[in-house]
Amino acid sequence: MCRAQPVALGAPNDDYMTVPPIAGTETVVWLNGRPIDRHAAALSVLDRGFTLADGVFETMRVARGVIIQLDAHLARLTSALARLRIPFPPHMEQTVADATRVLAERGDDAAVRLTVSRGIGAGVAPVANVEPTCVLTISPFPSNQAATYERGLVTVVASGRRNEFAATSGLKTLSYTDAVLTLADARAAGADDAIMLDTSGHVSEGVSSNLFIVSHGDVRTPPPTCGILPGITRATVMSLIAVQEGIVVPSDLAAADELFLTSSLRGIAPVRSVDGSAVGGSVPGPITQRLMAAYGRWIDDAVADYVRDE
């Protein structure tokens, strides 16, 4: 559905500063295959997503009514469900189809979150023959990103570590307490985001984003062995420009010419400073700026491809 072919970066321009318009003000919700008023939606107090964070989720960007890289997000979620031995929700495909239709009718930008828990059950051990809980929400697209693209992110190196040896390493599970606390600490320190290390002291990723470093014209990103989530936008960036997967150490951050973080909703976000030290010269740097513009064109192509296929 969405093209992922290399795109010429071209010359820097102002396209990267374009911020999508906000979608409708109301969040639309489907619960186990049924559309439901968000104020009336209710989960069991015994749902394992609530009691144990036993589940997975995907957050997806919607551009002009099209879910960007829907197939890739669903593939990653399906793989995570299989790894956790959670059955595929019986209503999920229809729910996604219904949401896709609603988004196409609205034609605006939004954020979609698809959440699946193991379902209702007591105790830690998974219970057999339990139907998973599936929730899909359509929410307004974040409206506060212009400053991120223009001035860059202020970051700190987190004290907590990503555990690259954890059984859930590389999975987008509901267990996000580490991320919540790390971001809270970063905000308390006056930063926008945090950069996390793995247990070996190598740079891993942002709180909910992947990290790229530009040095002497070369672009590098930490490999999966550093406990990263294999990001969908990360993969797109690697299709747009030559990127090396390789170990990044904290001293590389201070010496970098450019740094940027990637995620589905944020896209490509330049980093202005790490632990109070400025990164490179201008922000965004020349390679980051050209890549942001190329990513914007890639989104345009993805929307056009989807419309043409329909």
If you average pLDDT over residues 97-121, what whole number do you get? 95
In terms of Cβ atoms closer than 10 Å to its own Cβ (0-12, 13-18, 19+), residue 177 is exposed
**Cα distance between residue 276 and residue 252, in whole Å:** 15
> What sections of the chain are H helices per DSSP?
48-52, 70-84, 92-106, 146-151, 177-188, 232-240, 250-255, 286-309
Least confident of 135-149, 217-231, 289-303: 135-149
Percentage of the chain lying above the pLDDT 90 cut = 81
Widest CA span in the chain: 57
At 188-197, the pLDDT tens digits run: 999 999 999 9
Whole-structure pTM over 0.85, yes or no? yes
- pLDDT at residue 18 is higher than 90: no
Share of the chain above pLDDT 70, in %: 92
**Angle 232-240/286-309 helices, nearest 10 degrees?**
110
Residue 221 has pLDDT above 90, yes or no: yes
pLDDT for residue 41: 84
Q: Tokens standing for 102?
A: 């609603």
Judging by DSSP bridges, how do beta strands 110-117 and 133-140 pair with one another? Answer: antiparallel
Across residues 81-107, what is the average pLDDT? 95
pLDDT at residue 97 above 70? yes
**Distance (Å, whole) CA 107 – CA 229:** 30
* 3-class DSSP state of 166: coil
Domains and CATH numbers, the chain: 28-140 (3.30.470.10), 146-301 (3.20.10.10)
pLDDT, position 2: 40
258-263 and 218-221 strand pairing: unpaired
Reported as a pLDDT band with limits 50, 70 and 90, residue 9 is: low
Res 274 pLDDT > 90: yes
Q: What is d(CA 33, CA 168) in angstroms, rounded to the nearest whole number?
A: 27
Please report, for residues 26, 28, 179, the alpha-carbon distance to residue 38 in angstroms, rounded to integers and kept in the order given: 9, 7, 25
Average pLDDT over the chain reads 90
